[in-house]
Amino acid sequence: MKHYDKPLPEPTATSAPFWEAAHRGRLELQYCSACDSFQYYPRAICANCWNEDIQWKQCSGRGTVHSYSICNIPTLPSFKGEVPYVVAAVELAEGVRMTTNIIGCAPDDVHIGMPVEAVFERVTQEHTLIKFRPHTD
């Protein structure tokens, strides 16, 4: 596998299940049955009702672009080869938002409200990142 020089996730005890699921090609989110809500990013308790008993649930991986920016000048030199790339907030069907990249289309084709689906990008032997691409039914 090609050397990957961009920042990598550093899972904590709380977030490890998210990254492990991603590595298996699944988008899993924390779900609180007490208040019937999903949450992202991972937290030790339900941020809505403070319930401690939260589960991990596999999600559809579908969502829409909530907002985005096309990056031409990267923050870190290691992203130089990627420009222009799209940094986006994707609103998942489960009602939470993720910071991610939109891939699989020209940056200029991205628009607010665009339907997207999760893509699992294995970047090292141990790490998989979740990005999104346009989705059409």
Partner 1 sequence: MICSPLHLLEIVSPCTGGAALVVSRADALGDCPQDPVYLLGAGEAGSHTSVTHAPSLTHSWVQHSAGRAFEMAAIDRKSVDFVQLYDCFPITLLLTLEDMGFCAKGEGGHFVQERDLSWQGDFPCNTNGGQLSFGQAGIAGGMCHVVEAIRQFTGRAGERQLSDPGLGLVHGNGGIMGEQVTLVLGLE
- Residues forming contacts to partner 1 in the complex (CB under 8 A) are 41, 66-67, 69-73, 87, 89, 97-99
Closer to partner 1 at the Cβ: 33 or 67?
Answer: 67
Q: Where are the beta strands (DSSP E) in the chain?
A: 28-32, 37-39, 54-58, 62-71, 85-92, 97-102, 115-122, 128-134
CB of 27 to partner 1, least distance (A): 16
Instruction: Express the helix, strand and coil content of the chain in percent, nearest 5 each.
Output: 10, 40, 50
| Other Cβ atoms closer than 10 A to 43 | 12
* Closest residue by Cα to residue 132 from 94, 101, 111, 109: 101
Closer to partner 1 at the Cβ: 4 or 41?
Answer: 41
Closer to partner 1 at the Cβ: 72 or 136?
Answer: 72
Closer to partner 1 at the Cβ: 97 or 122?
Answer: 97
CB of 40 to partner 1, least distance (A): 8
- Return all residues near 16 (Cβ < 8 A) that are at least 6 apart: none
CB of 32 to partner 1, least distance (A): 16
CB of 99 to partner 1, least distance (A): 4
